[in-house]
Amino acid sequence: MRSKPNILVTGTPGTGKTTTSSALAEATHLRHINIGDLVKDKKLHDGWDDELQCYIINEDLVCDELEDTMEEGGNIVDYHGCDFFPERLFDRVVVLQTENSVLYDRLSKRGYTGAKLTNNIECEIFQELLEEAKESYREEIVVAMKSNTVDDMNRNVTTITEWVSSWGSTT
């Protein structure tokens, strides 16, 4: 059994996953694993998607790479998808959600245009990642959190940090 929990922070690109995960790692002393960086650094992909301007992730390679680390516990995994991770890996799944106008501004500032911008805004409108999380994990471990402002992020980090602190006594 793990001595520290594993947390998945997911949500549409631009909802604040990496910012929240970094702050959470600092507050809890858990390890932050950014899947996008891991895929690039370890070449866990099947090439580049020109239309969406991103790597085509090889989900099996990612899961194999994470297996031992996740077994130890104490990880915050940051990625915009969640349905390919085995359920047993996570003790909490946090889905960050952002209002469409805020998300549009964030993604536009990142240089997102065309299909990439439209797909991500629609993903948030239809709450696809929240539904994906609810379908992939036990309902009691999935938590949706608003992520529109710095205050929201700070509140989310505090809430999750409190959960981490109490985790050992509730498992």
Binding residues: 14, 16-19, 110
Pairing assessment for the beta strands 92-97 and 75-78 based on DSSP bridges: unpaired
Q: Do 90 and 133 contact (CB within 8 A), yes or no?
A: no
Q: How would you label 64-86 residue by residue, b for 16+ Cβ within 10 Å and e otherwise? A: ebbeeebeebbbbbbbbbbeebe
With the C-alpha atoms ordered 76, 67, 73, 164, is the resulting torsion angle positive or negative?
A: positive
| Residues 6+ away with beta carbon under 8 Å from 83 | 132, 135, 136
Report how far apart the first and last C-alpha atoms of the chain are (Å, whole number).
10
Annotated binding site for ATP: 14, 16-19, 110
Separation CA 118–CA 27 (nearest Å): 34
Neighbours of 166 (CB within 10 A): 10
